[in-house]
A and B are shown apart, each in its own frame.
Chain A
Amino acid sequence: MLTKRIIPCLDIKDGRTVKGVNFVDLRDAGDPVELARQYAEENADELVFLDISATEQKRKTLANLVLKVAAAIDIPFTVGGGISSVEDVEILLQNGADKVSINSAAVKNPALVNACAEQFGSQCVVIAIDAKQINGQWKVHLVGGKVPTEFDLFDWAKEVAERGAGEILFTSMDHDGTKEGFANQALARLSEEVNIPIIASGGAGKSSHFVDTFTHGKADAALAASIFHFGEISIPKLKQELKQQHLAIRI
């Protein structure tokens, strides 16, 4: 049976992890490669690297990092952050990324989704969507949720699926950072309306939130950052708890 995936997300700046991480066993908690290895050891199902640096060397630094991560781990990983062209995608895939996550650039240029799917296959095209509710309507936001657009979350999700996206990473800006659970209603509706896998993001605070998002939210995977980095929830323990709740989980 296909299992539900647990995905730690690492924010990267200039080749280093940002936001503190609190892994006692690590020699260098700022080293994304070492963190990645640790998470792979703990049976994380996938990893996401989100590059938030804005330097001119960004492309090269990120490509180097991707190569090092690919050499170090044997589980799939996705790379995102500022990807805006087919060339950006190609460099990352050639260096060993399994998937790329595209956010703002897809909104600005939806044909990019088609181009990437046609050239590299849908399986490596993840479309990240940040959205929050405005007057009861889920609206897509850009620049880390700061800039609202006219795009409706569900319409946009359907559109990117039709254009060839292989997966959607949906972050609820309303839930992100609250630690009060994922946006399960919206997630469930996404799963009903869109026929590709959905990753839930934003709001993880405790194990029961993951149970809820896999059951009520119908999510295929759940992503979190700080609760894993700070050891608030350990992945092996979380997975045991999910399995006890009769969810399909890889242990």
Chain B
Amino acid sequence: MEVAIIDYGAGNIKSLQFALERLGVTGHLTADPEQIKAADKVIFPGQGAAQSAMIKLKTHGLDAIIPQLKQPVLGICLGMQLLCDYSEEGDVNGLGIIQGKVRRFSDQLKVPQMGWNTIFEMQTTLFQEIKDHEFMYLVHSYFVPLLPETIAVSTYNKAYSVALRKDNFYGVQFHPEKSSKAGQQLLKNFLNLTT
């Protein structure tokens, strides 16, 4: 199976590659549109700020490529947020695959949210064999509110989207590569997706 990890300088990619390796798969880090289009699965990682990420994506023309992909795509953390059409972080437009606005957590909370939180109301086979209220590792200052595309929920003061799906595009706010066995199960489920 060919797995492409979209390369746009998104920070710690090694952990993701190692997590895939533990599942017997090689994640190819690439910014080459042809290689991305030809992959069986595409992972869209993300760390850092939305604005600089969008600039880097545009530099490689990836902002136009990603929404056209037909194979299963998994956005992680900022990668999930950028599937939406707008982010308050840097007042920037995302890829617009999902209609939704990324918001900043209230200043009444510790920001970033950092650590292990529970997820629930999970839908789709992406969460197969992952128990309700499983713990996942999160670190983020911005969040996606609940949307029709929400396929898992978590709470930080109030409920928000911890996973999204539209057609072949999936996104998770948590880091599966850092979420122990449950995270590994999620990556395994993603690799098993057919659409």
Contacts and interface: CB of A to CB of B under 8 A. Distances in A.
Interface of A: 1-5, 40, 45-46, 67, 70-71, 74-76, 93-98, 118-124, 166-167, 191, 195-197, 220-221, 250
A95 B14 contact: yes
B18 A1 contact: no
Interface in B148-195: 155-156, 175, 177-181, 183-184
Contacts of A119: 48
A96 B112 contact: no
18 contacts: A3-B115, A3-B117, A3-B135, A45-B116, A71-B21, A76-B137, A94-B14, A97-B12, A118-B49, A124-B12, A166-B112, A167-B114, A195-B110, A195-B111, A197-B112, A197-B114, A220-B115, A250-B116
Interface of B: 11-12, 14-15, 18-19, 21-22, 47-49, 107, 109-118, 135, 137-141, 155-156, 175, 177-181, 183-184
A5 B12 contact: no
Q: Which of A45, A74, A122, A123 neighbours the largest number of chain B CB atoms within 10 Å of its CB?
A: A74
Contacts of B112: 122-123, 166-167, 196-197
A5 B116 contact: yes
Task: Identify the 8 closest CB pairs spanning chains A and B, nearest first.
Answer: A96-B14, A121-B48, A123-B139, A250-B116, A250-B135, A2-B117, A71-B18, A197-B114
Contacts of A70: 14-15, 18
Contacts of B19: 74
A1 B14 contact: no
Contacts of B109: 195
Contacts, number: 100
B26 to A, nearest CB: 14
A195 B140 CA distance: 14
Contacts of A46: 115
Contacts of B110: 191, 195-197, 220
Contacts of B137: 75-76
A141 B122 CA distance: 47
A74 B113 contact: no
A67 B12 CA distance: 11
Nearest to B109: A195
Contacts of B48: 119-121
Given A3-B116, A71-B18, A196 B11 contact: no
A67 B14 CA distance: 8
Contacts of B115: 2-5, 45-46, 197, 220-221
A233 B178 CA distance: 25
Given A93-B11, A96-B12, 20 more contacts: A1-B117, A2-B115, A5-B115, A46-B115, A70-B18, A74-B15, A74-B22, A74-B177, A74-B178, A74-B181, A75-B178, A95-B14, A120-B11, A120-B48, A122-B141, A123-B112, A191-B110, A197-B110, A197-B112, A250-B116
Given A2-B115, A3-B116, A121-B48, A98 B12 contact: yes
Contact of B47 (A40, A95, A97, A120): A120
A4, A76, A124, A220: which has the most chain B beta carbons within 10 Å?
Answer: A76
Contact of A195 (B49, B107, B114, B183): B107
A123 B111 CA distance: 10
A8 to B, nearest CB: 15
A12 to B, nearest CB: 19
Most buried by A among B12, B49, B180: B12
A98 B177 CA distance: 11
